[in-house]
Amino acid sequence: MPTTIAAPKSKRAPAGQEDFLPLEGTDHLEFYVGNAKQAAHFYQSALGFQPVAYSGPETGVRERASYVVRQNKITFVLTTPLRAKHAISEHILKHGDGVKAIALKVTDATSAWKETTKRGGKSFMEPQTLTDEHGKIIVSGIHIYGEVVHMFVERDDYTGPFMPTFVKWEPSFRASETGLQYVDHCVGNVGWNQMNPWVKFYEEVMGFRNILTFDDKDISTEYSALMSKVMSNGNGFVKFPINEPADGKKKSQVEEYLDFYDGEGVQHIAMATNNIIETVTDLQSRGLDFLKVPSTYYDTLLDRVGHIDEELKALKELGILVDRDDEGYLLQIFSKPVQDRPTLFFEIIQRKGAKSFGKGNFRALFEAIEREQAARGNL
């Protein structure tokens, strides 16, 4: 059975204290994977990331190897263990490939750790100063749901390729970029009745606020349902929707994730683009598979969302979804899982004013996911 870890009991922040955790955005996401060298090649060739840095035995790190790839403001670290008896090996055996760390860029990693731990956050790493000839980086971290952690990274005094123990990585292979710009949001899947405790955690430990709520009436099909709340930091640079299962006739996508990931974790990473038609066309040509909705979705699309700049034919051919809110519209599409377990996937999103998350697309999207679940025998 998958494990569910209760949110730690948080301590309410002192009255009048605001923005005790100023965040500058996502510094990087670290994945624990079975083969980091091959994973790095996948993210370069299929998604257009560029090689940045490497850490491993050649740089004095004996137990693991890590490859850093980047595209504009998105940085992924792909880490693999070099020994069977290692905590990373155990993580991969249990969960498969997945996100271990959501690292957040801060101006003061020591303060970030102190402020969050004194409010009830469980420490993962006390502040550490890492130095080399390029300067210094200060890192710290706290635990969140499952085995995922938030790292706080202070790098204003560092000029190296990534961090100490990493060297510049310059392979002969270079793929062209695909137009991915930055991390729009990261979605976490938590266990039954765990969404609200984690919402409270983000509110009280990290100073986030709940900006959107979707219940099982918003996110349901004939067969399954889930609930979700979107948490955002003060400046809106960092957003974390949190999903939990809801009762339905059959197994929801969140339940399937919890079963196959064997616990709570990051469900998907949404990456923004300035031209979703060009980006998705490029990604599809490189072999990234996306979910498809029925062609009838597009029959009433313009009636529902009004005028859009894009040609409907191109959206239909690619399977791109559209939704509108009071501030504009957005275009989005979701990949199929990027590993054999039906766990982590990616969202490609282009916002044209909209601040929402595609509520109008939920039913069509989740029915598409259910078709994939049924094909796997997991619905």
Per-residue pLDDT tens digits for 50-90: 999 999 999 999 999 999 999 999 999 999 999 999 999 99
Q: How confident is the model at residue 13 (pLDDT cuts 50, 70, 90)?
A: very low
Q: Please report, as a single letter, which amino acid is at residue 320.
A: I
Please count the structural domains in the chain.
2
pLDDT > 90? residue 5: no
Amino acid 6: pLDDT = 59
pLDDT > 70? residue 359: no
Amino acid 378: pLDDT = 76
Amino acid 7: pLDDT = 63
Range with the poorest average pLDDT among 139-148, 197-206, 282-291, 318-327: 318-327
Q: How confident is the model at residue 220 (pLDDT cuts 50, 70, 90)?
A: low
Mean predicted lDDT score pLDDT of the chain: 91
pLDDT > 90? residue 296: no
Question: Which domain does 155 fall in, by range?
Answer: 25-168
Question: Rounded to an integer, what distance in angstroms lies between the CA atom of residue 192 and that of residue 171?
Answer: 45
* 362 within 8 A of 217, measured Cβ to Cβ: no
In a domain? residue 301: yes
231 and 371: one domain?
A: yes
In a domain? residue 304: yes
Amino acid 16: pLDDT = 45
CA 250 to chain CA centroid, Å, is 26
> Residue 314: what are its φ and ψ, rounded to 5°?
-65, -40
For residue 151, what is the domain's CATH number?
3.10.180.10
Q: How confident is the model at residue 221 (pLDDT cuts 50, 70, 90)?
A: low
337 and 202: one domain?
A: yes
Q: How confident is the model at residue 223 (pLDDT cuts 50, 70, 90)?
A: low
100, 133, 168 - which closes a domain: 168
268 and 348: one domain?
A: yes
In a domain? residue 3: no
Percent of the chain with pLDDT over 90: 75
226 and 353: one domain?
A: yes
> Residue 91: what are its φ and ψ, rounded to 5°?
-60, -45
Contacts 24+ apart (CB under 8 A), 316-321: 318/277, 318/280, 318/281, 318/284, 318/290, 319/290, 319/291, 319/292, 319/293, 320/276, 320/277, 320/280, 321/293, 321/297, 321/358, 321/361, 321/364, 321/365
250 and 159: one domain?
A: no
Under DSSP, the state recorded for 173 is: -
Amino acid 14: pLDDT = 43
Nearest to 96 by CA among 270, 334, 257: 257
133, 148, 168 - which closes a domain: 168
What pLDDT digit, counting tens, does each position of 238-274 carry?
A: 999 999 988 877 778 889 999 999 999 999 999 999 9
117, 140, 168 - which closes a domain: 168
What pLDDT digit, counting tens, does each position of 159-214 carry?
A: 999 999 999 999 999 999 999 999 999 999 999 999 999 999 999 999 999 998 87
131 and 204: one domain?
A: no
161 and 264: one domain?
A: no
351 and 219: one domain?
A: yes
> Residue 143: what are its φ and ψ, rounded to 5°?
-80, 145
